[in-house]
Structure 1
Amino acid sequence: MVRSNNVGYDRHITIFSPDGKLYQLEYALRAVKCSNLTGLAVKDDNAIAVVSQKKLSAQQGNQDVLLDQSSVTHLYHITDEVMALLIGFPGDCMSILYKSREIALEYQYKSTPSTHTCACSVGAKDQEGENALERILKQRETVTLKEKVKSDLEVDTEAHHLTGGAETRVTVEAIKAMIAIDAYDQLNGAKSIEVAICTRDNPVFRQLSEQEIETYLTHIAESD
């Protein structure tokens, strides 16, 4: 009964309801918590790898024979050289995706906005959050950022049976980061994550197949 008297207040982001709530803020926080997915990106001077969790319910994965599992994704192409990792309510994700594609098409085929305009437009929609490296460092209070970076540089991440140079290195490090923060489901293996890579020599984002992801997972398991 109390909620029915406060219907008008759920349309305002800066006006409190009589019971002291900002409904728009609560909706936003609920949207973030309900996604229950993790995504991250790892880059160096020559390549970047983007990794996201991929979850399907048991009913969807086993009983729905008409479901194409490759259509369940959180990695979307805005252009060939720009990819977005979108996590949250599907409606919100699609709204951001379509708006980003619209801006990209205007940039490509119409007038060219300045870098400052693009940065301000994206920054207004960017969300602040704790990245995976910060979370790991807080769990390991005895390890400083300098020591962590130095130890990572000393580790040889080159695969014995994998080739690709920078592409291989950043992909291995990205998948390792997902495993380190418990965002990888060992039961489902390669089906539980999706990976996209892009290099300086080939600046077009490419999503890895399950077989390619399984190859990286096998290498990581053997190297550990």
Structure 2
Amino acid sequence: MSRGNSAGYDRHITIFSPEGRLYQVEYAFKAVKLPGTTAVAVRGAQCVCAVVQRKLPDRLVEPDSVTSAARVSDAHGVVFAGLPTDGRAQVQRLRAEASEFRYQNGYEAPTLTRFIRSTLTCVPLGATLLFLGWDDHEGGYSGPRLYKVDPAGYCIGYRACAAGSKDVEAQNWLEKRLRERQEEVGADRGERLLFSTAGSAGGYGAPLRDIPLSDDDALELAIGALQSVTSSELKPADLEIALVTKDKRHFHVLSDQEVEEVLSRLSERD
């Protein structure tokens, strides 16, 4: 999109073009794909995991200093795709909100979607965030959580999602594999799979049911989706894995040794 085509309508986030477009938001969506990295997240029955590419800008760079995963609170964290500086800026704002919530209420905040309106919609930045966490509240939902927030501030919950340069290809791969898994589960149980006619009429096909995935199944899907879009064999130094499980309800990023163990364990399953 050339500067002349915008005709000054990109000078402020609240200035709409005659076609009803917000050019600053569109610029932010394009900036997410500039670094060429992809992030994939999958929610299992008792876990939620995310896998993101790690690209070093120079061979002399210390690998541990390049990260796209960050802890926001004790049980929640984010993995982002896009411009690293913009992603870190969002993380700092979310950490401040989470800390303020804990100070005022005396306990950790639930899923951080309540902070998105106040912290992520001020200005469109070139980063898409994937929220991972575990909610465990009396009288409410207890289990893993996965949300995706785009540069426009739109947030929605997912069973599996992708962000970054090849997010569409990764999401299509995930949808295909989850649909196959759904058919296998239905065949094993002798069930007839019922789909929503309203969903099909809406143009996005039959919605997938919530299929219970084990921890290894979720990791296998996330790594498989990333490997399918990169078309290369992934090594521990090429990716980061963030994980929240029922046994360990703390957001944590696996070390290179732990990543290598996960890749070895999953390769043995094949």
| TM above 0.5 | yes
Q: Quick check: 1:47–1:199 contact (8 Å CA) kept in 2?
A: yes
Q: Which of 225, 235, 242 in structure 2 is aligned with 1:196? A: 242
Give the structure with the higher percent strand. 2
- Residues 54-108 of structure 1 deviation map (CA, whole Å, 9 limit, x = unaligned): 1114xx12xx1xx321110100011121110122122321221111011101110
Q: Which of 216, 220, 230 in structure 2 is aligned with 1:172? A: 220
Q: Quick check: 1:79–1:104 contact (8 Å CA) kept in 2?
A: yes
Partner residue of 2:45? 45
Separation (CA, whole Å) in 2 of partners of 1:89 and 1:206: 22
Partner residue of 2:198? none
Q: Quick check: 2:244–2:250 contact (8 Å CA) kept in 1?
A: yes
1:11 aligns with 2:59: no
> Could you tell me how far 1:36 is from its partner in structure 2?
1.8
> Could you tell me how far 1:217 is from its partner in structure 2?
2.1
The 1:101–1:7 alpha-carbon spacing in structure 2 relative to 1, beyond 3 Å, is farther
- Residues 21-79 of structure 1 deviation map (CA, whole Å, 9 limit, x = unaligned): 8541342132122132111222223222211111114xx12xx1xx3211101000111
Task: Report 1:124-163 matches (<5 A).
Answer: 125=121, 126-127=149-150, 131=161, 134-136=171-173, 145=179, 147-151=180-184
Partner residue of 2:205? none
Which secondary structure state, in structure 2, belongs to the residue aligned with residue 86 of structure 1? strand
Q: Quick check: 1:87–1:93 contact (8 Å CA) kept in 2?
A: yes
> Could you tell me how far 1:116 is from its partner in structure 2?
11
Task: Report 1:196-215 matches (<5 A).
Answer: 196-215=242-261
Partner residue of 2:197? none
The 1:32–1:144 alpha-carbon spacing in structure 2 relative to 1, beyond 3 Å, is closer
The 1:185–1:205 alpha-carbon spacing in structure 2 relative to 1, beyond 3 Å, is farther
Q: Quick check: 2:42–2:218 contact (8 Å CA) kept in 1?
A: yes
Separation (CA, whole Å) in 1 of partners of 2:185 and 2:253: 25
Unaligned runs of 5+ in 1: 156-164
Instruction: State the identity as a percent.
Output: 30
Q: Count the aligned residue pairs.
A: 199
Separation (CA, whole Å) in 1 of partners of 2:3 and 2:217: 53
The 1:223–1:100 alpha-carbon spacing in structure 2 relative to 1, beyond 3 Å, is same
RMSD: 4.0
Partner residue of 2:125? none
Separation (CA, whole Å) in 1 of partners of 2:65 and 2:9: 37
The 1:104–1:212 alpha-carbon spacing in structure 2 relative to 1, beyond 3 Å, is same
- Give the TM-score normalised by the residue count of structure 2: 0.59
The 1:21–1:47 alpha-carbon spacing in structure 2 relative to 1, beyond 3 Å, is closer
Task: Report 1:66-145 matches (<5 A).
Answer: 67-111=61-105, 119=113, 121-122=115-116, 125=121, 126-127=149-150, 131=161, 134-136=171-173, 145=179
The 1:76–1:120 alpha-carbon spacing in structure 2 relative to 1, beyond 3 Å, is closer
Which secondary structure state, in structure 2, belongs to the residue aligned with residue 40 of structure 1? strand
- Give the TM-score normalised by the residue count of structure 1: 0.69
Unaligned runs of 5+ in 2: 122-148, 163-169, 189-212
Q: Quick check: 2:216–2:266 contact (8 Å CA) kept in 1?
A: no
Separation (CA, whole Å) in 2 of partners of 1:91 and 1:149: 39
Q: Quick check: 1:42–1:174 contact (8 Å CA) kept in 2?
A: yes
Give the structure with the higher percent helix. 1
